[in-house]
Amino acid sequence: MSDGWHSDRAEPMTVGGGSTRLERRRAARQAQIKRRRRVALAAILVIFLLIVGTIVWTMRHTLMGSGASPEDYASGSPGPAVVVHITGTNNSDFAQNLVDAGVVKSVAAFNQAAGDKPISAGYYELRKAIPAAEAVDMITDPARSHRVGMVNVSAGAQLDDKRGKDNKVARGILSQISAATAHTSNGVKTQIPAADFVRVAATASPSDLGVPQWALATVNRMKGDHRRIEGLIAPGVWEEVDPSGTPVSILKSLITASAKQYEAQGLLSASRSSAAKLDPYEVLVSASIVEREVNQPADYPKVARVILNRLAKNQKLEMDSTVNYTEAVTSIDVRGEQLLKKTEWNTYAKTGLPATPIGAVGTSALVATENPAPGPWLYFVTVDAQGTTQFTDDFAQHERNRQTACDNKFLTVGCAPK
């Protein structure tokens, strides 16, 4: 007898021509096979494309390495000088700047010539239509003879040129900026005179100059005197001075960047554990004195403490560096007539801090002023050419220390006769 099943494994019969379970299984297997074939074909296609891409890349680089040269200018027929601002994150970016300026003919030629040589962003005076290798040599020249728009401000540098007792002139920051703008473009030689920067520093509005909020009071009060921005240009190698900019735009870029640098070094958040509380601008002024009074950074925190101790006692600072600030010739031996000059900076003639910083403030001096050493000192004197400085809170001992400097022939003014 049959109950509709042929065996334990037989498919059941269907009524009305419907498909059996076996047919459905076969259809499912065929669909699965088709899917697997499509996946396999897709994988094969991906592998094929990877192989083709690898072959193309290899052939391209093999050809480049075997002498198949990219487009390049011939040597011997350079065009006029032009200033190029090289920006970006890699050599291809730099190369595109040069192609756009007409200096080199192709990105590939520059990349091939540059290889793994380090390329620095910045402004360069180059020639149009030169071989890529020549452009690379100019840009990577260790003497930086083709760099323009670069200013190296040292710690303690002042706005104005200063002559020392040895008759050597230390170029001021404004003269250095002027020199950085000198360039030739399309046959025209251009340089912004230092006098233009002096005029703008004295007369431009603080907002146009990028003066930070914490320096506004002094800059506004001293309008007409270019020294009102003293200390607002920080030490460092400033590589992005646009030689085609204006005196206002150039000073603004430097002052704005310097303010950020000072603030990053803690100018706004430093706490002073002294009765002589200083605001951020006063901290900068005090640090500028620290910078120029001694030449050993290890002594900076002690000098900073001497300044704070004297301010707290309402005692004149009497710092030679503040007298020298307005002198045409600077000297460690400050003489009597110099001490009597009444200026906004002479701390022998006035009580308190000078009107402005007396130079660019380096990191070590600023940090030391923000974190002065604990101590009672009120006096200090450097006693030899090596920079040895002695500190004391006793005036009689200070006089003896000063005589040591005289005995060492480091000082000559105010020395006791032998």
What is the per-residue DSSP string for 260-299? HHHHHTTTTT----SSS---HHHHHHHHHHHHHH-S-GGG
Q: Are residues 360 and 243 in the same domain?
A: no
DSSP code string of 324-377: HTT-SEE-SS--HHHHT---SS-TTTSSSS-SS-SSPPPHHHHHHHHSPPP---
Q: Are residues 191 and 240 in the same domain?
A: yes
375, 391 Cβ separation under 8 angstroms: yes
Beta partners for 185?
A: 188
The per-residue pLDDT for 66 is: 46
Q: What is the pLDDT of residues 81-110, one digit of tens each?
A: 999 999 999 999 999 999 999 999 999 999
Residue 237 amino acid letter: V
Last residue of a domain, one of 232, 262, 292: 262
The per-residue pLDDT for 67 is: 52
Residue 56 resides in a domain:
no
Q: Are residues 285 and 229 in the same domain?
A: no
Residue that has been written with the tokens 């990219």 in this structure? 70
| Count of domains observed in the chain | 3
Other Cβ atoms less than 10 A from the Cβ of 225: the count is 16
Q: Are residues 212 and 319 in the same domain?
A: no
Q: What is the pLDDT of residues 142-195, one digit of tens each?
A: 999 999 999 999 999 999 998 877 788 889 999 999 999 999 887 889 999 999
Residue 64 resides in a domain:
no
The per-residue pLDDT for 15 is: 44
The per-residue pLDDT for 333 is: 62
Residue 304 resides in a domain:
yes
Q: Are residues 218 and 319 in the same domain?
A: no
Residue 21 resides in a domain:
no
Q: Are residues 84 and 195 in the same domain?
A: no
3-state secondary structure of 317: coil
Closest residue by Cα to residue 294 from 339, 344, 327, 332 = 332
b/e 243-266 (16+ beta carbons within 10 angstroms → b): bbeebbbbbbbbbebbbebbeebb
332, 396 Cβ separation under 8 angstroms: no
Residue 381 belongs to what H/E stretch?
strand 379-382
Q: Are residues 404 and 344 in the same domain?
A: yes
pTM: 0.79
The per-residue pLDDT for 198 is: 98
Last residue of a domain, one of 92, 113, 140: 140
Residue 309 belongs to what H/E stretch?
helix 300-312
Tokens of 159: 């706005």
Give the domain CATH number at 126: 3.30.1490.480
Q: Are residues 219 and 281 in the same domain?
A: no
User: What sign for the dihedral angle of Cα 325, 327, 330, 331?
Assistant: negative
- What residues make up the domain containing 124? 80-140
Residue 384 resides in a domain:
yes
Residue that has been written with the tokens 């007298």 in this structure? 323
The per-residue pLDDT for 9 is: 41
Q: Please, which residues have CB within 8 angstroms of residue 69's CB and are 6 or more apart in sequence?
A: 109, 112
Residue 269 resides in a domain:
yes
The per-residue pLDDT for 60 is: 55
Residue 369 resides in a domain:
yes
Burial class for 311, CB neighbours closer than 10 Å (0-12, 13-18, 19+): buried
Q: Are residues 397 and 330 in the same domain?
A: yes
3-state secondary structure of 37: helix
Burial class for 308, CB neighbours closer than 10 Å (0-12, 13-18, 19+): buried
- Alpha-carbon distance of 336 to 315, in angstroms, equals 19
pLDDT (tens place) for every residue of the chain, 418 residues total: 444 444 444 444 444 444 576 777 777 777 777 777 777 777 787 787 777 776 655 555 544 444 567 999 999 889 999 999 999 999 999 999 999 999 999 999 999 999 988 899 999 999 999 999 999 999 999 999 999 999 999 999 999 998 877 788 889 999 999 999 999 887 889 999 999 999 999 999 999 999 999 999 999 999 999 999 999 999 999 999 999 999 999 999 999 999 999 999 999 986 554 556 899 999 999 999 999 999 999 999 999 999 999 999 999 999 999 998 998 877 666 656 666 788 999 999 999 999 999 999 999 999 999 999 999 999 999 999 999 999 999 999 999 999 999 999 888 877 877 6
Q: Are residues 272 and 401 in the same domain?
A: yes
The per-residue pLDDT for 276 is: 62
Q: Are residues 237 and 333 in the same domain?
A: no
Sheet holding 147-148, edge to edge: 81-86, 122-127, 147-148
Q: Are residues 105 and 192 in the same domain?
A: no
Strand blocks (E) in 38-175: 81-86, 122-127, 147-148, 151-153, 162-164, 169-170
Angle at 276 between CA 274 and CA 280, to 5 degrees: 100
- Alpha-carbon distance of 84 to 102, in angstroms, equals 10
Q: What is the largest CA-CA distance in the chain?
A: 145
Residue 24 resides in a domain:
no
Tokens of 16: 């009305």
